[in-house]
Chains A and B, each alone.
Chain A
Amino acid sequence: MSTLTVTVNGTARTLDVEDRTMLADLLREQLQLTGTHVGCDTSQCGACTVLINGVPAKSCTILAAAVDGAGIVTIEGLADGDRLHPVQKAFREHHALQCGFCTPGMIMMGVDIIARHGSGLTEQTVREELEGNLCRCTGYQNIVSAILAAARQGATS
């Protein structure tokens, strides 16, 4: 066991975790933050994407013990109460999901892409940088539209 201090969605937590625990399992099982999804569990599909110190990463392939001291933001940390984050709002407005399984990872990645590229974001950049997020409903068109729309509206927070 290791004792771990992390800040998750703005709340500081001290947690006892088994050394073998993956960050995705810590979030889902121990903290009940089940919005972070585990799809392939081999770092390919991106459904488990969270922000670690502001940087997107695949939480199924990162040991919880390796992020001691870090700040983590999950899909649950984006909305302000009932007010959706602008990227979440854009996903709803553009119908950017079908089954919804990949959506948390897509939105976390969208938040990062917009934060790095701002309003000058191009469709090609969105498509390239979503390479690590798979949608098996094949609904990429509206996902790309939603991220571009949110970028144009200046959705950085």
Chain B
Amino acid sequence: MSIAMPDLRYHRPATLEEAVDLKRAADEAVYLSGGHTLLPAVKAGLAAPTALIDLRAIPQLGAGVSVSDGMLRISAATTHAAVAASALVLEHIPVLAALAGSIGDVQVRNWGTLGGSLANNDPAADYPAAALALGATIITDRRRCPAEAFFDGLYTTCLEDDEIVVEVSFPVPLSAGYAKFRNPASGFAMAAVFVAQLAGDAVRCAVTGAGDDGVFRWKEAEEALGRDFSAAALDGLEPDASAMLADLHAEPDYRAHLVAVMARRAVSSMGRLTLHG
């Protein structure tokens, strides 16, 4: 017998309205998507829901990938494997497909979802960096939220208690690159940098795995790259070490160094994902 789960109810609503009603009806109800973060947390006693509300049968969350007006739209329950294999994602933002294909492992990518990853906002998750650097809009059951306002610190977002991520709209960039230094044991980013060249000469650079407040934009690097889009333009720049995570894997100084190296590698490998560590 494996680790005991607490007694709970499982619901699989067919509409957004039904899901929200179920959430409001129970004190400790939690939305479930792929579950590959949530269910281990429940087993570990870190969460004790009395009900799990599985969102994956709701049609809007399972709509898949589409492109219109320069925006790549991906519905929230799309798995990492589906994003990695999507012909539309590969055509319009190839590095986003590669990023999705670098999350976890094959089995995890078959269940983990875009919406679940964003709503969880793990400080070492990959999707938040892409959403923030590309200037994505997170579309919920009640509003449109720019990525800038969506992420709100470690494991925290601006989502209301019963709000549901329905879709994410990514502006198609001129080019984008992602460099990730992986923890050799977990595979999660110890520092990863997503660099995007957007229409109108804007350059955005988002960092995951390293910040002590979760994903962040590295504005100094953006300004330097805006003047001269080259890896050399970042020479001598490092993010402030006092804002970096400290854990047994890496001290803040080392993480700041890794961020600088990953940023240069992302700029040198635009259009691609590069993995390090």
Binding site for B on A (CB under 8 A): 2, 18-22, 24-25, 29, 38, 41-43, 46, 49, 55-58, 60-63, 65-66, 68, 109, 112, 129, 131-133
A42 to B108 Cα, complex, angstroms: 11
- The contact of B110 among A41, A55, A63, by CB within 8 Å, is A55
Chain B stretch 30-50: residues in CB contact (< 8 A) with chain A: 35-36, 39-40, 43-44
In the A-B complex, the 5 residue pairs with the smallest Cβ-Cβ separation, listed nearest first, are A132-B105, A19-B10, A20-B5, A131-B105, A65-B10
12 contacts between A and B (CB under 8 A): A18-B7, A19-B9, A19-B52, A22-B5, A43-B40, A57-B110, A57-B111, A61-B36, A62-B39, A63-B10, A68-B12, A132-B104
Contact B7 A20 (CB under 8 A): yes
Pair B111/A62 contact, Cβ less than 8 Å = yes
Pairwise interchain contact A131-B35, C-beta atoms closer than 8 A? no
CB distance A63 to B107 under 8 Å?
no
- Say yes or no: is B187 at the interface (Cβ < 8 Å to chain A): yes
Q: Is the CB of A129 within 8 A of B106?
A: yes
B68 interface residue (CB < 8 Å to A): no
Other A-B pairs beyond A41-B2, A132-B106, 16, CB < 8 Å = A18-B7, A22-B39, A25-B1, A41-B3, A42-B43, A49-B107, A55-B81, A61-B39, A63-B35, A63-B39, A65-B10, A65-B12, A68-B12, A109-B107, A131-B105, A133-B105
Q: With a CB–CB cut-off of 8 A, which chain B residues contact A21?
A: 5
Could you say which residues of chain B place their CB within 8 Å of the CB of A20?
A: 5-8, 10
A25 with B108, Cβ < 8 A, contacts A61-B39, A66-B12 known: no
Q: Are B107 and A57 in contact (CB under 8 A)?
A: yes
| Secondary structure call for the A interface | mixed
Asked whether B107 lies within 8 Å of A58 as measured between CB atoms, the reply is: yes
Interface string of B97-112 (1 = CB under 8 A from A): 0000000111110110
B15 shortest CB reach to chain A, Å: 18
Known: A57-B111, A131-B187, A132-B105. A63 touches B2 (CB 8 A): no
Interface of B, helix, strand, loop or mixed by DSSP: loop
Q: Within 8 Å of chain A (Cβ to Cβ): is B54?
A: yes
Residues of A within 8 A of B12 (CB): 65-66, 68
Is the beta-carbon distance between B35 and A19 smaller than 8 angstroms? no
Shortest CB-to-CB span from B45 to chain A, Å, is 12
Residues of B within 8 A of A38 (CB): 2
Q: Cα distance A113–B180 when bound, in Å?
A: 25
Kindly provide the distance from the CB of A71 to the nearest chain B CB, expressed in whole angstroms.
15
B132, chain A: closest CB distance, angstroms: 26
Q: Which residues of B contact A29 (CB under 8 A)?
A: 1
Q: Is the CB of B107 within 8 A of A42?
A: no
User: Chain B contacts of A68 at CB under 8 A?
Assistant: 12
When the two chains form the complex, which single residue of A43, A66, A109, A112 contacts B10, counting CB atoms closer than 8 Å? A66
